[in-house]
Amino acid sequence: MDRLHQIAERFAAAAPACDYWTLRLVDEESDHLAVRQGVVEPSALGASLGAMVTLVVGGGVGYGATSDLSPAGLRAAADQALGWAARHAWLGLFDAAHYPRSALRADYHGPVAEPWEAMRLPDKLLLLQEANQALALDERIVDWSAWLAYRRVQQLLVTSDGGHITQVWTYVSPGLAAVANAGSQTQRRHGGGADWSQQGGLERISAAGLLADAPRVAEEAIALLTAPECPRDTRDLILTPGQMVLQIHESIGHPLELDRILGDERNYAGTSFVTPEMFGTYRYGSELLNVTFDPTVPGELVSGAADDDGTPSRREYLIRNGILERPLGGVLSQARSGLPGTANARACAWDRPPIDRMANINLEPGEGTLDALIARVERGILMDTNRSWSIDDSRNKFQFGCELGRLIVDGELKGLVRNPGYRGISAEFWRSLDGVGGPAAREVRGVQNCGKGEPNQSVYVGHATPPALFRSVAVFGGGE
């Protein structure tokens, strides 16, 4: 971070004449270790360091990105930004006067109890080998793997208005996968943290249960081989947090992105069934549906001090008691639309400008436990862990497949069903919400591969959620 501060000081001393500028420096390192079927896979080390220069000149905004952080390299990036600002003033979609300005001074360092470097490479590989051995418990397990992924991002944002924001995020992400086969039937299960991403250091390995979870993962993959197909029917549905993550992500998070609502994404990632007129009155779900944008949850993937425009991160309700209140739009989109928003202008790296992205989008807890939700169901299915998803271009009609299902009969869990899936329409589905687990049942999770934008940007997104109960949902099995 000292190096980033030195670079920023040099740039500020020689910044070009303009109405406003920002310099966002990003230093990232990563590592990925995996053992598959007892064989160590090639490791993947990564390092990236660069800067994004943003200039506001008259009616235009321009960007220039560079990995050459010398004075000459930064000058060249600023010259490029000046050229694009002139072009934008002529052809741009919005007036540069709407571009957000920040004087925020803030620091954020994500939680790390045990740094990645505290464990030697041989010990990490030995741990993955032990997990492999625990997965290979039967000849029907035909493929098995364990992995550890590490990522550390240091970012410094400085602005001509005196803004100075340092943020450091650290992630250690373990995971397991087991594939079982018998004849023509193949089933897969994940665990050990594979769908349980959070900020943190090596302490995430035991918290996610990398070793402890291995027998369950393999046993469930084997058991699914002989389980009956999920029935095709209309039944009550309970989704575990492992599946709720993607349900929230696809049918609440993406539809509420304000640039998508304004039409910016229609050529690539699609639009949204949500329109500006809906905010404040539209019933998105039942009265149990309370969804927040919350960058304050400790350890959640996108907790932090500010977005990449320098807007302070604050908790906001998106949906309250089922009524749609607020979109996911940064300051620029707010000015264009006349709607309130959130601090969610985010970029995936130093060579991308910020756009409206999800951050931490959470379903607020209700009351009770998972067992209490199950006890309320006479005829239903519990589904866990996403396997496939499909949703239309307006983020409205959807269909999801899960790795594992369990029948619920008269308030009790019964046998497994394989290849479970369900489908619905976003608002109708959320209006059928009839139970949300309490605070003790909430799990802090997220996804690490949310893609959007041209050129594409893949970012981390956090989702904290309890299990949830939905009434009268169309469910189906494999082959449909």
3-class SS string, 92-110? CCCCHHHCCCCCCEEEEEC
CA 131 – CA 146 distance, rounded (Å):
6
Q: Angle, to 10 degrees, between the axis of helix 121-135 and the axis of helix 214-226?
A: 30
pLDDT tens column, 404-449: 999 999 999 999 999 999 999 998 999 999 999 999 999 999 999 9
For residue 178, the cross-strand partners are 144, 189
Task: Tell me what pLDDT residue 479 has.
Answer: 59
Q: End-to-end alpha-carbon separation of the chain, Å?
A: 52
Between vectors from CA 115 to CA 113 and to CA 116, what angle results, nearest 5°?
140
Residues 402 and 389 sit within 8 Å (Cβ to Cβ): no
For residue 24, the cross-strand partners are 52, 157
Residue found by looking up tokens 């489908």 in the block: 423
- How many angstroms separate the Cα of 14 from the Cα of each of 3, 10, 81, 312? 17, 7, 15, 27
The residue ranges of every structural domain in the chain are: 2-226, 233-476
CB-neighbour burial class of residue 257 (10 A; exposed 0-12, middle 13-18, buried 19+): buried
Instruction: State which H helix or E strand residue 124 sits in.
Output: helix 121-135
Task: Tell me what pLDDT residue 94 has.
Answer: 86
For residue 169, the cross-strand partners are 153
pLDDT tens column, 364-389: 999 999 999 999 999 999 999 999 99
| Cβ neighbours, 10 Å, residue 42 | 7
Instruction: State which H helix or E strand residue 78 sits in.
Output: helix 71-91
Residue found by looking up tokens 């349980």 in the block: 196
| Cβ neighbours, 10 Å, residue 339 | 17
Between vectors from CA 451 to CA 278 and to CA 85, what angle results, nearest 5°?
80
Q: Say which CATH superfamily domain 2-226 falls into.
A: PmbA/TldD superfamily (3.30.2290.10)
**Cis preceding linkage at 439, omega within 30:** no
Of 308, 288, 319, the closest CA to residue 359 belongs to 308
Residues 81 and 124 sit within 8 Å (Cβ to Cβ): no
User: Dihedral sign, CA of 369, 230, 242, 202?
Assistant: positive
**pTM for the whole structure:** 0.95
Half-sphere exposure in the Cβ direction for 283 (13 Å, CA): 9
CA 109 – CA 299 distance, rounded (Å):
11
Q: What is the pLDDT along the chain (480 residues), one digit of tens a residue?
A: 899 999 999 999 999 999 999 999 999 999 999 999 999 999 999 999 999 999 999 999 999 999 999 999 999 999 999 999 999 999 888 889 999 999 999 999 999 999 999 999 999 999 999 999 999 999 999 999 999 999 999 999 999 999 999 999 999 999 999 999 999 999 999 999 998 999 999 999 999 999 999 999 999 999 999 999 999 999 999 999 999 999 999 999 999 999 999 998 888 888 999 999 999 999 999 999 999 999 999 999 999 999 999 999 999 999 999 999 999 999 999 999 999 999 999 999 999 999 999 999 999 999 999 999 999 999 999 999 999 999 999 999 999 999 999 999 999 999 999 999 999 999 899 999 999 999 999 999 999 999 999 889 999 999 999 999 999 999 999 855
